[in-house]
Amino acid sequence: MYKSVTIAALLLSLAAGLSRGAAASPAGPSHPTTSDPNALDRVLKNLQDKAGELKTYQVNMDYVFKQPLVESQQRRTGVLYYAKFDTRSSLRIDFQTLQQDQEKPQTYKQQYLFDGVWLWEVDYQLETATRRQLAEPNQPLDAFSLASKHLPVLGFSKAEDLRQQFEIELVPEPATQPAPRQHLHLKVKPDSVYKDDYVTIDFWIDRQIGLPAEVKAVTPEEDVYEIKLTDPKVNTALDRKLFQIGVPDKFSQSVIPLAKRAQDKPSR
Q: Assign residue 80 the CATH number of its domain.
A: 2.50.20.10
Distance (Å, whole) CA 117 – CA 61: 25
Q: What is the phi/psi pair of residue 168, to 5°?
A: -115, 135
Element (H, E) at 35: none
- Kindly provide the b/e burial profile for residues 111-147, where b requires at least 16 CB atoms within 10 angstroms of the residue's own CB: bbbbbbbbbbbbebeeeebbbbbbbeeeebbbbbbbb
Q: With respect to residue 110, please indicate whether it lies within any of the assigned structural domains.
A: yes
Q: With respect to residue 103, please indicate whether it lies within any of the assigned structural domains.
A: yes
- Which domain covers residue 23, as residue numbers? 3-263
Distance (Å, whole) CA 56 – CA 77: 20
Assess whether pLDDT exceeds 70 at residue 241. Answer: yes
Each residue of 15-30: pLDDT tens digit?
444 333 333 333 334 4
Each residue of 208-225: pLDDT tens digit?
656 667 889 999 999 999
Q: With respect to residue 21, please indicate whether it lies within any of the assigned structural domains.
A: yes
Specify the pTM.
0.79
Per-residue pLDDT band at 158 (split at 50, 70, 90):
low
Q: With respect to residue 268, please indicate whether it lies within any of the assigned structural domains.
A: no
- Kindly provide the b/e burial profile for residues 2-16, where b requires at least 16 CB atoms within 10 angstroms of the residue's own CB: bebbbbbbbbbbbbb
In the chain, the number of structural domains is 1
Number of neighbouring beta carbons within 10 Å of residue 25: 8
Q: With respect to residue 29, please indicate whether it lies within any of the assigned structural domains.
A: yes
- What pLDDT, on a 0 to 100 scale, did the predictor assign at position 210? 60
Of the listed ranges 30-34, 71-75, 211-215, the one predicted with least confidence: 30-34
